[in-house]
Structure 1
Amino acid sequence: MYRTVTYELLSLEAWLATGKRPDRALAGKMKTEVARIREALLTGVLTLTDETHVQRYIRTHHFGIIQLLNKVSGNPKSMEATTSLLELLTVIESTFANHLDPEAELCQLHAQQLAQQCKETISQLSKNFAKTTVSEKLQAVFVNMFRKLTTTHVVTYHQQKFAHELIDDLTWQFANTEPDALEKELTKLTLNRDLNSTRAFYFWRDLIKARMNTAELSSDKREQLLEVQMEIQHTSEKQKGYHINTASLRDQVLDYVSWEMNYLDRSETSVKKSTDRPAENFRVRTELSVSQLACLLKTLVDMRIIVNPNISELLRFFAQTIVSKRAEAISFDSLRAKYYNIESGTKEAIRQTLQSLAKTLS
């Protein structure tokens, strides 16, 4: 036997369809009906066993209440109806938050309240930033996001939640972070909260370019890129981005770092092709995998048998001059990653190889 639920807003929709101000008796009925709907929704959710059906049930009523609110809010004659509907909306959004559609539009009243809150936040940010050395570009990333929410015609439930949580984060940062450390912490916050706006991406792009410009050699530029890559990879994301259907800021920046690395590779390859001599194409062939080669190399470095100070140049040299057991060409990035992340099985394989080598010398 199928379990059934009903649409609970029919009475409210019928009462409000006339557009007339509810009299005292009807206002009392509406309060009673709102209380009944609240209990009916809780019962309906318990009746349904399929998660998809629960979600559809809640979202249908959430949408219906928002439409009713948009119809009556702003009308002085419907203040009691607005209050009752807001109470019901609050119950749904607090009780069934996990089932709501993140891309559902806010009711007009909540959108107006959010716009006002964002205006106040922009004003407060301007005062707070004036006391710090935070760059104008980084300031603009945050201010511009809040400014858009004051002018856009459509604000979603997700954007409201995002804005509220970001306001809390910024308030905490200004209250607990030393002024000189704010630039670094707010830069991290763009990734933590995933401010995946165009302005945020351009901020990171310019930041990376500035770091690369401090280096003259390609190897040093690559080192800067690898440092940025590692910093970003170790930065966690707390939630979905501001633009819910756009790639995360973290992924966008990592893609840009990869593009810059590939550009350096192409530039180096172009230079090598013009200067290489036939003898320089010689490569040493080994029976080691890339992981084993990285482990052996790290062992030689740790034991001070190899004493080159620049590990990146050393890894690049090995990648260019050695052929592994399975790969004719070894990627510098792959060798570097294996060098800094050696697995226990690889260590055991190299230990056995070195033991066999020692036996041949005895």
Structure 2
Amino acid sequence: MKAKYILENYDRIIKEIKNPQIIFSNDLAPFLKKSSSQSYLIHQVDFSLRNNEIKYAVRKPIHNLHPRVPKLKFKASESIPEFEQYIPAIVNELNFTNNLASWRWCAKNKNTVYLFQDCEIEDLNQEQRFFLYCYHTLKKENYKIKQIDKERIFKLNSKIKSEEFIHQKQYALENLAQRLVKEINPEKVSKLYQFSDDYDKTDCLKITYIYVQKLQRFIEKEYKNYLNVNAPIPYGSIFAKEFEICKKLEEVKSILLKSNIDPEILKLVYEPLLKIETLNIPGKLTYVEFNYCAKIIKELHKQIEADILTEVAILDCLFYLNFNSLQLFKYLTTNLLQDLELLENNTQKINNLFRILKIYNQKQSGNTVKYKPNLPPIKKQIIGWIEEEIVYLNRIVEQETNQLPTPTHKKEDFKFLTSFSVAQLSFFTKILVETNIINHRIQADVIRFIARNFKTMNTDNIAVESLRTKFHNVESSTKEAVNDKVIEMLKLTKD
């Protein structure tokens, strides 16, 4: 059975916001009165001291049903006499009659006082009432959706089905969030959480977006193990707060900029740091990308705390966390080539590359998740490159050896005549190598030896390159001919 779409009330509210005439014809006062037994306006007054003179500014009032009110922190007592003496004048200025209920000082800012003025819901204009209606409707709707989700997951009693349900919820919420961001079109992300004094369509869309986000955080908190990690991570994700990523990110960036680290390494490490900053752009960063970049930030932060942030430590960190970007690959291989240039000849280069190959083979990579999912792990990239360099340099050494003139005083050694063709000889040699009958580390040495010491019925001089080509590209007819000889050899073992 197809799961019921439980965001339909969100769609209804968005439709009402876009066409307020639908709801303006209704009396919203009874609904709002059910949300609170009290009705009053809150006037915020901010005091300041300028040139030894006390000044104050009065902000536009908000109703006690406004979404900002739960965040206000009041002091029950401890008034400030030098400011309190101005309250009667402020009351007169605001044309209060007898409906000043009380005032409270702000718990967070001693220079702020809140004046409470009794009012009727009917005294609010239609835009204010509609905004408050949207807020309290969404608040109740979220509570209902959370209860439905909990019941649904409990009844499913299956991890696969639970994952499928949560993935559908993620997708629906993300789509709705993106639609709202597009409609609101804020100058910057912080504007999504700032309401105007006009209580217009945009303010109503903003409160809708905020409550969509609350549902996204609920899903993250309650069903972390069922999340689709390839889905976009919502702005304001609980994980960003839980890991204190933003704080650690700023600390790491600050220390890196003050350090004397190679600019190329800085550029490398800044890539994931800048990527995680796109957390402020809704829909840009997935959970996988966030988790990966967060790991790098936490590792670098540990190095800073341990005072071991060096170029080598950063590169080891990137390698360990499988930072498989082409830029890191280019940086590491360029440095290897520069080191090779200091050596006298190709033989030394080959020996050095074998030593480096051993180091990289033994190097640990502790992260199965890759920075670039479509590229091989950084360890595989580097090892592959080193092996190719060894093959290339071996080929050059072979060519140099083949081009050396044969000393006139030295008589050419004899060669073994084989009934195999060059292709058959090459394939037979390959069998000996792969079965470890010939157990030699460098394949090129074996091929050179066979070419130098064997001849066929058709040629006295076997070209190394020809033997190598046929070593790697074996035709079916060649396999059949060699197979016959191997069977013949096998019969001899039974006599």
Could you say whether these structures have the same fold, taking a TM-score greater than 0.5 normalized by the shorter chain as the test? yes
Pair 261,34 (structure 1): closer, same or farther in 2 beyond 3 Å: same
Is 1:5–1:44's contact at 8 Å kept on the other side of the alignment?
A: no
Scaled by the length of structure 2, the TM-score of the pair is: 0.50
Q: Distance in 2 between matches of 1:82 and 1:13?
A: 12
Counterpart pick for 2:314 among 181, 186, 191: 186
Q: Distance in 2 between matches of 1:28 and 1:288?
A: 76
Counterpart pick for 1:57 among 149, 165, 180: 165
Q: Which residue matches 1:164?
A: 294
The answer on 1:125 being equivalent to 2:253 is yes
Q: Distance in 1 between matches of 2:219 and 2:177?
A: 14
Q: Which residue matches 2:274?
A: 147
Is 1:135–1:183's contact at 8 Å kept on the other side of the alignment?
A: yes
Structure 1 residues 213-260: Cα deviation after superposition (integer angstroms, max 9, x where no partner): 332232321233223323333322413222222322222222222221
How far the C-alpha of 1:71 sits from its partner, in A, is 4.4
Pair 213,119 (structure 1): closer, same or farther in 2 beyond 3 Å: farther
Pair 321,38 (structure 1): closer, same or farther in 2 beyond 3 Å: same
Q: Secondary structure at the match of 2:16?
A: coil
Is 2:245–2:294's contact at 8 Å kept on the other side of the alignment?
A: no
Q: Distance in 2 between matches of 1:106 and 1:271?
A: 58
Q: Secondary structure at the match of 1:43?
A: helix
Q: Which residue matches 2:60?
A: none
Q: More strand by proportion, 1 or 2?
A: 2
Q: Which residue matches 1:10?
A: 8
Q: Secondary structure at the match of 1:164?
A: helix
How far the C-alpha of 1:130 sits from its partner, in A, is 3.3
Pair member with larger Rg = 2
How far the C-alpha of 1:26 sits from its partner, in A, is 1.0
Q: Distance in 1 between matches of 2:11 and 2:414?
A: 80
User: Please, which runs of 5 or more residues in structure 2 have no aligned partner?
Assistant: 18-129, 182-191, 196-202, 417-427, 452-463, 469-495
Counterparts of 1:309-320 in structure 2 under 5 Å?
none
Q: Which residue matches 1:249?
A: 378
Scaled by the length of structure 1, the TM-score of the pair is: 0.65
Pair 40,11 (structure 1): closer, same or farther in 2 beyond 3 Å: farther
Q: Distance in 2 between matches of 1:280 and 1:85?
A: 85
How far the C-alpha of 1:291 sits from its partner, in A, is 4.3
Is 1:122–1:146's contact at 8 Å kept on the other side of the alignment?
A: no
Counterparts of 1:1-362 in structure 2 under 5 Å?
5-19=3-17, 21=131, 23=133, 25-43=136-154, 45-46=156-157, 48=158, 51=160, 53-72=161-180, 74=192, 76=195, 77=203, 81-107=208-234, 121=249, 124-128=252-256, 130-131=258-259, 134-150=261-277, 154-176=284-306, 178-179=308-309, 182-234=310-362, 235-275=364-404, 279=412, 291=436, 294=439, 321=449
Structure 1 residues 103-159: Cα deviation after superposition (integer angstroms, max 9, x where no partner): 32333555xx89x9679836733424634x532222210113323454696322222
Is 1:146–1:163's contact at 8 Å kept on the other side of the alignment?
A: yes
Pair 176,316 (structure 1): closer, same or farther in 2 beyond 3 Å: farther
Q: Distance in 1 between matches of 2:151 and 2:12?
A: 18
Give the fraction of aligned pairs with identical amino acids, expressed as a percent: 13
Of structures 1 and 2, the one scoring higher in RCO (CA 8 A, sep 6+) is: 1
Pair 148,164 (structure 1): closer, same or farther in 2 beyond 3 Å: closer
Pair 6,322 (structure 1): closer, same or farther in 2 beyond 3 Å: same
Pair 162,253 (structure 1): closer, same or farther in 2 beyond 3 Å: same
How far the C-alpha of 1:162 sits from its partner, in A, is 1.5
Structure 1 residues 187-215: Cα deviation after superposition (integer angstroms, max 9, x where no partner): 12212222222321221122221332332
Q: Which residue matches 1:309?
A: none
Q: Distance in 1 between matches of 2:340 and 2:370?
A: 27
Q: Distance in 2 between matches of 1:85 and 1:273?
A: 74
Q: Which residue matches 1:304?
A: none
Q: Which residue matches 1:350?
A: none
Q: Distance in 1 between matches of 2:444 and 2:388?
A: 19
Q: Secondary structure at the match of 2:170?
A: helix
How far the C-alpha of 1:275 sits from its partner, in A, is 2.1
Is 1:118–1:147's contact at 8 Å kept on the other side of the alignment?
A: no
Is 2:322–2:378's contact at 8 Å kept on the other side of the alignment?
A: yes
How far the C-alpha of 1:168 sits from its partner, in A, is 0.7
Q: Distance in 2 between matches of 1:212 and 1:189?
A: 24
Q: Distance in 2 between matches of 1:68 and 1:229?
A: 51
Q: Distance in 2 between matches of 1:129 and 1:96?
A: 38
Q: Distance in 1 between matches of 2:361 and 2:396?
A: 26
User: Please, which runs of 5 or more residues in structure 1 have no aligned partner?
Assistant: 298-311, 324-328, 332-362
Q: Distance in 1 between matches of 2:343 and 2:329?
A: 22
Q: Secondary structure at the match of 1:15?
A: helix
Is 1:122–1:143's contact at 8 Å kept on the other side of the alignment?
A: no
Pair 27,188 (structure 1): closer, same or farther in 2 beyond 3 Å: same
How far the C-alpha of 1:95 sits from its partner, in A, is 4.6
How far the C-alpha of 1:67 sits from its partner, in A, is 2.5
User: Which letter maps to 1:15?
Assistant: I
Q: More helix by proportion, 1 or 2?
A: 1
How far the C-alpha of 1:62 sits from its partner, in A, is 0.5
Q: Secondary structure at the match of 2:215?
A: helix
Q: Distance in 2 between matches of 1:215 and 1:228?
A: 14
Pair 197,239 (structure 1): closer, same or farther in 2 beyond 3 Å: same
Q: Secondary structure at the match of 2:291?
A: helix
Higher mean alpha-carbon deviation, 58-67 vs 5-14, is at 5-14
Pair 37,87 (structure 1): closer, same or farther in 2 beyond 3 Å: farther
